[in-house]
């Protein structure tokens, strides 16, 4: 055979990778570049004005969202010098005019009453709050000052804040409605005050003060905020929340992260639409050059509806996944790179980006490594036992119920499925009472005379630390193994019916001809089960078994509602580096997800950054295990594949 390199024209074919493909003309690239600069401009060049208008309106909608959610109009007024001096921060607002009241007959007050009032309140009419200030300070202690916030004394607290009228620090209106409110003013009579950037040493945060949905969101995601309560800024004092003058509200770093993620999602959507607009302009130009005529708007709309029908009808599902799955996941992921823990009081303090410091600390600290290793090993053991034991028992029950030797199979099936029909929470609470110190199990063992033999057996096999009478199933520190065994058995009782019903359905799909052929070949019952029943059932149910493992790895309810994570960890074995989290320490039956719950929601001991790191580890472990094993199963292989 002649070498292809020696044939005429072969060199051109080898060197021309674009041969046989549709080339993109200069005109098509030009329309794409035009749409890149201004969305819809390429369609306008292609003489598709209605379609160009639609594409052009898309960025206008995003700009409208940014403008409507911002105060850029106020900023432009401030920059142009059109703001009256009376509306600037630091300028006291005038008191509301007194409401004229009808003249009333002068009332004569007894001298004794006047004297008693002077004796009671004093002639200076000191506010009752001032009298109790020192006692409250003695009782609760002085609040922790915010970073960079000036120390406040008696004179500072009594002075009116920026934008408040004279005497505002001494009236009830200022207490109820914030600074700048007269005693007779209400919430609706407050006025917006503009920041005076010439006052104070801090630089101006224009995007923070005036930005909209996208600009302020991205700024907050990058900085996590800059100002906290009681800081002086632009002629005003930052407070927890100010509805009328938002720039006087303290930064909440958690809210900043959430707003930033929403803004990013919106910008990614705009970017995707922009890319689609560029491709549409290029493809339209190609069709014009090939056919010599532009595609009509109606035909374009019909083509888009047909080509993107699946995506259009699935849009609500995509939005639900975005807002209820993807954004919360990314939010949790980002918390792992911050210093957010119980020491951060939102409003008084700011969260900071710390990179991989939390990962590094958890990887090198021996105390955290020790506890995490033990909890992780128990979690893996729990997931394996609670998955394969329920599968095995469900398989056994299915074989028994479907056996031709069993009479009344439907009745037995209905009885065995009852645990699955009960609500899981009710089942767990019931078993929690059953295995209580004074519960049904101990009562049964006492009445049957089996208490001493059972407790001695449990002690002999290592489940019980002491042969107690009665048996303490969940409480003592030395009975951690017993509590773990009870958790596995309870899950076995509750989960086996599900697998039984699933396997019964698979058994009904196995062709009877296979069993008849096996009988003709003289196969025994064990051989039929080994070579026909078990392989066919396993290949059909293996994905469900993998998902059961993944579910049980994060089966929070079975631990939390049955044992609450107890028994508690042995204080003598608790590393010193973990004693700072006190009540957030894991119990002996806690799995990773239940410990993460304690790290996140134990009041005054929250470790959100650590919980986020462990959540990422769970995701990587469970996700990798599930994907790898499912890809290797026959149920997920394409027909005609390996």
pLDDT at 58: 95
Q: Distance of CA 458 to CAs 302, 433, 469, Å?
A: 73, 20, 12
Over 90: is that where the pLDDT of 607 sits?
yes
Query: In this predicted model, what pLDDT tens digit does every residue of 431-471 receive, in sequence order?
Result: 999 999 999 999 999 999 999 999 999 999 999 999 999 99
pLDDT at 94: 52
Q: Which two tokens stand for residue 233?
A: 């800024």
State the CB neighbour count (10 A cutoff) for residue 414: 12
Tokens 């142009």 found at: 80
pTM surpassing 0.85?
A: no
Over 80: is that where the pLDDT of 234 sits?
yes
Distance CA 202, CA 178 (A): 23
State the CB neighbour count (10 A cutoff) for residue 382: 22
Cβ distance 154 to 173 under 8 Å? no
Distance CA 487, CA 485 (A): 5
Task: Name the residue ranges covered by the structural domains of the chain.
Answer: 362-435+473-636
Q: Distance of CA 398 to CAs 274, 409, 413, 547, Å?
A: 56, 10, 8, 20
Q: Which two tokens stand for residue 113?
A: 């009453």
Assign 87 to helix, strand or coil. helix
Average confidence (pLDDT) over 207-226: 96
Over 80: is that where the pLDDT of 185 sits?
no
Q: Where are the beta strands (DSSP E) in 271-351?
A: none
Most confident of 128-142, 535-549, 622-636: 535-549
What percent of the chain has pLDDT above 70? 79
Tokens 């639409």 found at: 273
Residue among 587, 612, 591, 586 nearest 600 (CA): 612
* Cis omega (within 30 of 0) for bond into 470: yes
Query: Across the chain, what does the average pLDDT equal?
Result: 81
Tokens 């009594």 found at: 158
Q: Give long-range contacts, CB 8 A cutoff, 24+ apart: 200-204.
A: 200/232, 200/233, 200/234, 200/235, 202/231, 202/232, 202/233, 202/234, 204/234
Tokens 């199933």 found at: 473
Residue among 560, 594, 564, 562 nearest 430 (CA): 562
Query: In this predicted model, what pLDDT tens digit does every residue of 30-67 receive, in sequence order?
Result: 999 999 999 999 999 988 899 999 999 999 999 999 99
CATH class of the domain comprising 362-435+473-636: mainly alpha
237 phi and psi angles, rounded to 5 deg: -120, 130
Q: Distance of CA 527 to CAs 36, 522, 531, 535, Å?
A: 68, 10, 6, 12
Q: HSE-up of 630 (CA within 13 Å, CB side)?
A: 15
Output 348 or 132, whichever has higher pLDDT.
Answer: 348
Q: Where are the alpha helices (DSSP H) in 127-252?
A: 128-140, 154-158, 172-177, 206-210, 213-223
Average confidence (pLDDT) over 2-10: 43
Query: In this predicted model, what pLDDT tens digit does every residue of 540-592 receive, in sequence order?
Result: 898 889 889 999 999 999 999 999 998 998 888 888 888 888 889 999 999 99
Residue among 429, 464, 462 nearest 445 (CA): 464
Which residues 6+ apart lie within 8 Å of 222 measured at CB?
Answer: 260
Region of 20 on the Ramachandran plot (φ > 0 left; ψ -120 to 50 alpha; else beta) = left
Cβ distance 467 to 456 under 8 Å? yes
């Amino acid at each position: 055979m002649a070498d292809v390199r020696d044939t005429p024209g072969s060199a051109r074919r080898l060197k021309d990778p674009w041969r046989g493909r549709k080339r993109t003309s200069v005109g098509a690239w030009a329309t794409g570049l035009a749409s890149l600069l201004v969305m819809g401009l390429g369609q306008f060049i292609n003489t598709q004005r209605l379609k160009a208008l639609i594409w052009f309106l898309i960025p206008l909608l995003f700009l409208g969202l940014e403008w409507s959610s911002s105060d850029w109009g106020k900023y432009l007024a401030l920059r142009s010098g059109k703001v009256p001096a009376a509306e600037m921060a630091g300028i006291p607002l005038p008191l509301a005019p007194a409401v004229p009241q009808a003249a009333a007959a002068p009332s004569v007050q007894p001298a004794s009453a006047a004297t008693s009032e002077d004796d009671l309140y004093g002639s200076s009419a000191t506010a009752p709050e001032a009298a109790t200030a020192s006692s409250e300070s003695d009782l609760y202690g002085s609040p922790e000052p915010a970073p960079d916030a000036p120390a406040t004394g008696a004179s500072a607290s009594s002075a009116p804040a920026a934008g408040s009228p004279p005497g505002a620090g001494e009236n009830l209106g200022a207490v109820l409605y914030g600074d700048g409110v007269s005693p007779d003013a209400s919430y609706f009579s407050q006025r917006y005050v503009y920041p005076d950037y010439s006052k104070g040493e801090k630089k101006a945060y224009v995007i923070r003060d005036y930005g909209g949905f996208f600009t302020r969101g991205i700024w907050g995601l990058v900085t996590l905020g800059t100002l906290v309560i009681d800081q002086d800024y632009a002629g005003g004092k930052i407070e927890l929340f100010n509805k009328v003058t938002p720039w006087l509200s303290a930064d909440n770093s958690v809210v900043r992260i959430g707003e930033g993620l929403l803004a990013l999602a919106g910008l990614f959507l705009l970017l995707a639409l922009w890319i689609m607009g560029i491709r549409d302009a290029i493809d339209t130009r190609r069709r014009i050059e090939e056919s010599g005529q532009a595609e009509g708007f109606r035909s374009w709309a019909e083509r888009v509806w047909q080509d993107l029908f699946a995506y259009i009808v699935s849009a609500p599902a995509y939005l639900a996944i975005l807002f209820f799955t993807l954004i919360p996941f990314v939010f949790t992921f980002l918390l792992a790179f911050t210093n957010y823990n119980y020491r951060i009081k939102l409003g008084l303090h700011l969260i900071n980006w710390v990179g991989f410091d939390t990962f590094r600390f958890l990887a090198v600290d021996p105390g955290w490594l020790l506890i995490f290793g033990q909890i992780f090993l128990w979690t893996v053991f729990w997931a394996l036992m609670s998955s394969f034991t329920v599968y095995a028992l469900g398989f056994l029950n299915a074989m028994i119920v479907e056996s031709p030797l069993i009479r009344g199979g439907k009745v037995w099936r209905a009885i065995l499925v009852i645990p699955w029909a009960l609500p899981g929470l009710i089942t767990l609470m019931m078993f929690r009472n059953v295995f209580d110190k004074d519960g049904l199990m101990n009562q049964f063992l006492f009445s049957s005379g089996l208490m001493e033999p059972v407790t001695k057996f449990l002690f002999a096999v290592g489940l019980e630390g002491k042969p107690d009478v009665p048996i303490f199933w969940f409480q003592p520190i030395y009975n951690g193994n017993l509590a773990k065994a009870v958790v596995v058995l309870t899950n076995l009782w509750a989960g086996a019916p599900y697998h039984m019903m699933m396997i019964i359905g698979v058994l009904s799909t196995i062709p009877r001809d296979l069993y008849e052929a096996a009988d003709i070949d003289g196969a025994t019952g064990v051989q039929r089960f080994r070579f026909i029943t078990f392989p066919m059932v396993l290949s059909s149910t293996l994905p469900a078994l993998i998902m059961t493992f993944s579910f049980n790895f994060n089966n929070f309810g079975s631990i939390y509602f049955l044992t609450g994570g107890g028994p508690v960890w042995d204080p003598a074995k608790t590393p010193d580096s973990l004693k700072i989290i006190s009540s957030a320490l894991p119990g002996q039956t806690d799995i990773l997800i239940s410990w993460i719950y304690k790290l996140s929601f134990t009041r005054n001991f929250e470790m959100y950054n650590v919980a986020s790191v462990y959540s990422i580890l769970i995701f990587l472990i469970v996700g990798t295990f599930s994907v790898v094993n499912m890809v290797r199963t026959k149920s997920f292989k394409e027909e005609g594949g390996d």
